[in-house]
Structure 1
Amino acid sequence: MSSFITPRRATTVVAGVGLAALALAGCSGATGGGSADGKVEITYLTTNGDDSIATGNALISAFEKANPDITVTLNTRPGGTEGDNLVKTQLSTGEMDDVFFYNTGSLFQALNPDQTLANLADESWVSEVTDNFKTVASTDNGTYGAPLGTSMAGGIAYNTKVFSDLGISVPTDWSSLVAAAEKIKAAGITPIEQTYGDTWTSQLFLLADFGNVRTQDENWADDFTNNKAKFAQGPALAGFTHLQDAFDKGLFNADFATATAAEGSAALAAGKAAMYPMLSSAVLSNITQSNPDAVADIGFFAMPADKAANTTLTVWEPSAVYIPKTTEGAKLDAAKKFVAFVNSPEGCDIQNANYVAGGPFSISSCSVPSDAAPMVAEIQKYIEDGKSAPALEFLSPVKGPNLENIAISVGSGISSAQDGAAAYDDDVKKQAQQLGLAGW
């Protein structure tokens, strides 16, 4: 999950290497050749989460077996702001590992990729990545990252049994969602689950609406970054308006103020709630743990726009593996082989073995398992139909720190949609000024 939505752990773990290797790891990316016997040693830097470490070790083991002349050492870094700063420092000082795992989108752009990263545009796998992914891992001058992991979507998870029993079709615009919600409410079922006990979840009404905004104005993210577009006006206001509308119509669960994401997911799985605005991977993870038999009953659709023609799924693209420009010679060749291996048939199998797919892959060489959750196929359909767009945080570095609290205020009837949007415009102004962006 993106660091813009939830914080990541900030403790350093080293897997598969000794202390001496750790001490030398920062220097390994700056040398260009292999050893006298033709063997090449490279390093791979990933985050310190259990999934990342397990995936990294499995990829390295399989890659070394297929490439016996190449040895890969796994190093890890913290997540969150500490990890971001470490990556920037290592790149600026020429001490980055030969291959590293990092965010796509605005955090990738902040690395000054044209100056610090190896351009991989001529690699064969580039033609297989989706347009959305290429948007968030490229600049006008090149493509720099290969995806690792699946995408996830922001939208509305729904209980397909409840919809079927009540004869409800998937809503394609806001008015049809409200009509469906009223029918669900009349049947004694919570129409829309909200879980402000986990405050970050309050943002989904707003964050998942960005695909609709971009469809109406493809330059909105750039204009927003340059202080020329506001949430309190134009297409972006709709997310706040719909949040207020849903509260005003009494469509939320009675315990919306204290319920947690785990509790909301369980209510959806049990059919006590019919719809839950959420990230696909988060709701799937929760239901897989608490109600695994119900995974097959959960579908997913895009947050509806006011007009069906504008309804577009908002997608959180996976992070990527990159190669710094300091990786040269035989090491560069080996690093490129490792990056290509990540999305090879064997690399795809390793990813599937270590991650639960919360959405489709962003490269055609990889496919989710045949037993993947049904919601993944629904998400894939939006992408195949050209009805998806990257989340705003992949296209703009501007995100105010108080969005979740502002969303709770609007979604609890404390503030109006207009006031909430205006408050968020003030909130992002402070953050944009801290980033030193022009025009603020």
Structure 2
Amino acid sequence: MKKLFLIVGILFVYTINAQQILDKVTTISNILNSISLPNISSYTVSIEKFGAKGDGIKNSKPAFDKAMKACLKKNGGTIRVPKGIYIVNGPIHFVSHVNLHLEEGAKIVFGQKPEDYPLVLTSWEGTMLYNYSPMIYGENVTDVAISGKGTIDGEGHGLWNTWKPLEEKGKLLSRDMNHNKTAVKDRVFGEGYYLRPQLIQFVNSKNILIEDVKIEDSPFWCVHILKSKSITLRGIKYDAHNKNNDGIDIEHSSDVLIENVDFNNADDNIAIKAGRDDDGRNSNMPSKNIVIRNNKFKGLHALVIGSEMSAGVQNVFAENCEASGYLKRGIYLKTNTDRGGFIKDIYIENIMFGDVEDAVYMTSNYHGEGSGLYPSKISNILLKNISFETVSNTAIVVEGYPNFKIEHVNFDGFIVKSAKNGMTLSNTENVTFNEVVIGEKQGVPSAVK
């Protein structure tokens, strides 16, 4: 591999000064203080009481439905799932004030018959519509949790996996409805459209906790938080390698903590989104106030913002994480000129990566798509104490749009041991560098021979 040697000194055009750092610390504290863990009543019941059997044969879907109804009558409670394999042919729909607790050795395996999953309000790649219910789903619920050392298995490698090549018709229709401002109630998909459901999704909800469970084999995105607030996602483990198996997707949501998560996904580990095109721009629901810390990344991309971010993304704080394995991209901010909206006030610090294709990639020209009518504004980005081993393509790409330049991006303590290509900046303003080394750090110049 060709070596590239680059060291960039301090530019004082734009810096994050001590007051701004203090404000960042205060902002993180305020975000964490605004997040409430769910309030669950003391009522506890085993799923076995309602006829479930962990024998890997019996359909336990009716038992989960009865357990949720019992908790509704009791104003909430904990549904305990003992050790065993529970087949569930259809979705588990949450009610408020419920903790679904999977004990160690418990495994919920969802069935693969689409007709078992009724249509519900959801979002598919940033467009609100009605589609097959996610396998665990809650709409307009408060104080809900999924906890314990058990496993949630979406069985996504079978029939659902065959839908990926067939989804184009439904995907394009959903985008046309978005652009044409078709009423959401008339965006009815399901049979014949092949839009795969998410594994876990909460919509228009608050005070949500997902903790410690293992998630595997999702048909589509794994955990999707949509139009919700006060979210804690921690200690989750992943083994999800189907197409589009994002680990965590945060969309139109705020006040979120993601910590101590062990990712192993075939797609984005964390993707922060805020709606596609007209849906997003008209929603007035940015994704904001998100704290990401102490996670282990492994998959396609580690930390992604976009490309569906039309309502805007603001106040994202990622710190003290590490990655393993080969990633296509480490940090990836992406949008195009159909989106509009903004990405701003993003602070990414103390992240250790191994080998990647591209280290940092920020683009306003994602996939070269876009009408040019709705460029996005990307600004106020800090990348501090970020390191990479080898980069097989490019260390830094910052690609703005001619009339909407990416601005105020600060690289401070950015180390890449080796890279095929160093840096591409286009349509940018006030991109600054301090202690940036790509290749071998240079010191005293060699003497003339």
The structure showing larger relative contact order (alpha-carbon pairs under 8 Å, at least 6 residues apart) is 1
On whether the aligned pair clears a TM of 0.5, the verdict is no
Greater strand content: 2
Task: Normalising by structure 1, report the TM-score.
Answer: 0.23
Greater helix content: 1
Task: Normalising by structure 2, report the TM-score.
Answer: 0.23
